[in-house]
Amino acid sequence: MLLNKHQIAERMSTTPDIARNILSEHGVNPIDLGWGRGRCFRWHASEVDAVIRQMHEDAQDKKPSGEALPPSKKKKKE
């Protein structure tokens, strides 16, 4: 199945231009169906889904930035 720019944006929960840039950064290039109504650039749904899965896996590998730091050892004054 081929998706247009609005459909890829919907799948990625972002704007069409940002979705297109993300796919381009991951090496997923559109198919050009030429001029005409309802034509132009389309992306394979499987490739879009693969990029979404890869972005999710990359996010899971990163350590959360909000994780609490270990308490510092303070010297008690006597």
CA distance 33 to 41: 6
Mean pLDDT of the chain: 85
pLDDT value, residue 43: 95
CA distance 29 to 20: 9
pLDDT higher than 80, residue 67 = no
Region 27-53 average pLDDT: 90
Provide the residue ranges of all domains of the chain, joining segments of one domain with +. Answer: 2-55
Work out whether strand 41-44 and strand 2-3 pair parallel, antiparallel, or are unpaired.
antiparallel
What tokens were used for 49?
């889904």
What global pTM score does this model have? 0.71
